[in-house]
């Protein structure tokens, strides 16, 4: 009952803010304030084959992939703020509403040096830094989920440039332990992303993440992690092409539970690894074409290898998609995902999602 009351208060507050905006009123001391968000109801059909007796193992379910509500605004002078919450209970193991982004930015020199403090997406990877409402397929690539994680973290970031400038960059100092938790060690991760726009429609860039994670035994030294990525994006008229490669190295000095990421960057489990050096990598390529009928066919291939030194650790994902844009704020996405594992398991997926933004 207490949770229900909290949700009602949050919803009423959001509606009041939205009404104030519609009436041209000021609120919270800011000159500009806005409410935004999106919902993504979804149907999933999982093809899992049959058991030893010939009984179907297929499953299907209606769900909410994401349901988000956020508030953004500006305070005179040179201060912006932004926070957004995830209301879908399907995104975390705890099945609860949780905070995604919450940060304040100093914007006096925002074109070349905007300073942000709080919780936000890590400045690593092109697909990771694409809004969930702007993804060309329903799910992010597995290589991005695993090697760009944690998707969101707490820290400080300086950034500059945009899509219209030749140079665009982000440099962050972050906990490295993920969203909504305190740092679990005294080290901070250093992350950076650099993009250049040499000609119209072309973006080339790279990312890095250097940090440490805790061992299972706290008396052992911290382990070293390294992530490096390269990315390319090209848009020519209605044709779109995007690709990126990510390589990760974990140098473990003792037995360690290495995080497994899922959902929207949260930790969904751990992989226990003994002392040693582990290299993993993968890449993703996406191509799409917007037709005159607002139909956009999409082809995506992504592959992830969780341990290059061990056979049978690679999984390939081929997604055939079709997006229909009802209007500027709504779209329907249909995805068929073929999952090819070294073990040869059958676990393909068919997903249908309707998105509405506001």
Q: Please give the average per-residue pLDDT across 164-184, as a whole number.
A: 93
Q: State the residue range of the domain holding 352.
A: 2-357
* Number of domains the chain contains: 1
Q: Please give the average per-residue pLDDT across 50-63, as a whole number.
A: 86
Distance separating alpha carbons of residues 196 and 216, to the nearest angstrom: 40
Band of the pLDDT at 32, cuts 50, 70, 90?
low
pLDDT at 57: 87
b/e per residue 282-309 (b: at least 16 CB within 10 A): bbbbbbbeeeeeeebebebbbbbbbeee
Which pair of tokens denotes residue 276? 């040693």
Q: Does the structure show a pLDDT above 60 at 181?
A: yes
Q: Is 22 in a helix, a strand, or coil?
A: helix
pLDDT at 345: 67
Distance separating alpha carbons of residues 259 and 64, to the nearest angstrom: 25
User: In sequence order, which residues have a C-beta less than 8 Å from that of residue 199 and are 6 or more positions away?
Assistant: none
Distance separating alpha carbons of residues 305 and 319, to the nearest angstrom: 18
**What is the value of pTM for the model shown?**
0.86
pLDDT in tens, 10-19: 544 444 344 4
Tell me the CATH number at 313. Answer: 2.40.160.10
User: In sequence order, which residues have a C-beta less than 8 Å from that of residue 308 and are 6 or more positions away?
Assistant: 279, 280, 281
Q: Is 28 in a helix, a strand, or coil?
A: coil
pLDDT in tens, 214-236: 888 888 899 999 999 999 999 99
């Amino acid at each position: 009952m207490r949770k229900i009351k909290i949700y009602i208060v949050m919803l009423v507050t959001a509606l009041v803010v939205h009404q104030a905006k519609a009436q041209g009123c000021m609120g919270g001391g800011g000159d500009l304030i806005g409410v935004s968000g999106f919902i993504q109801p979804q149907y999933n059909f999982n093809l899992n084959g049959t058991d030893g007796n010939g009984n179907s193992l297929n499953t299907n379910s209606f769900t909410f992939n994401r349901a988000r509500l956020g508030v953004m605004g500006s305070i005179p002078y040179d201060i912006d703020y932004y926070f957004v919450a995830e209301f879908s209970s399907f995104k975390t193991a705890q099945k609860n509403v949780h905070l995604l982004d919450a940060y304040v930015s100093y914007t006096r020199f925002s074109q070349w040096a905007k300073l942000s403090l709080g919780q936000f997406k890590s400045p690593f990877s092109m697909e990771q830094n694409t809004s969930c409402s702007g993804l060309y397929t329903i799910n992010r690539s597995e290589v991005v989920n695993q090697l760009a994680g944690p998707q969101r973290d707490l820290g400080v970031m300086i950034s500059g440039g945009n899509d219209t400038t030749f140079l665009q960059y982000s440099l962050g100092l972050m906990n490295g332990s993920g969203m909504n938790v305190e740092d679990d060690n005294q080290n901070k991760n250093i992350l950076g992303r650099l993009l250049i726009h040499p000609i119209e429609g072309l973006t080339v860039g790279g990312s890095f993440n250097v940090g440490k994670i805790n061992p299972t035994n706290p008396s052992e030294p911290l382990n070293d992690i390294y992530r490096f990525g390269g990315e390319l994006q090209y848009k020519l008229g209605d044709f779109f092409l995007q690709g990126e490669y990510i390589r990760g190295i974990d140098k473990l000095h003792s037995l360690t539970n290495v995080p497994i990421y899922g959902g929207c960057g949260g930790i969904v489990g751990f992989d226990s690894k003994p002392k040693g050096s582990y290299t993993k990598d993968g890449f993703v390529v996406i191509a799409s074409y917007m037709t005159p009928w607002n139909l956009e066919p999409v082809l995506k291939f992504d592959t992830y290898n969780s341990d290059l030194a061990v056979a049978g650790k690679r999984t390939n994902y081929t997604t055939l998609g079709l997006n229909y844009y009802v209007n500027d704020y709504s779209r329907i996405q249909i995805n068929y995902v073929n999952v090819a594992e070294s073990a040869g398991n059958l676990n393909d997926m068919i997903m249908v999602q309707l998105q509405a933004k506001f």
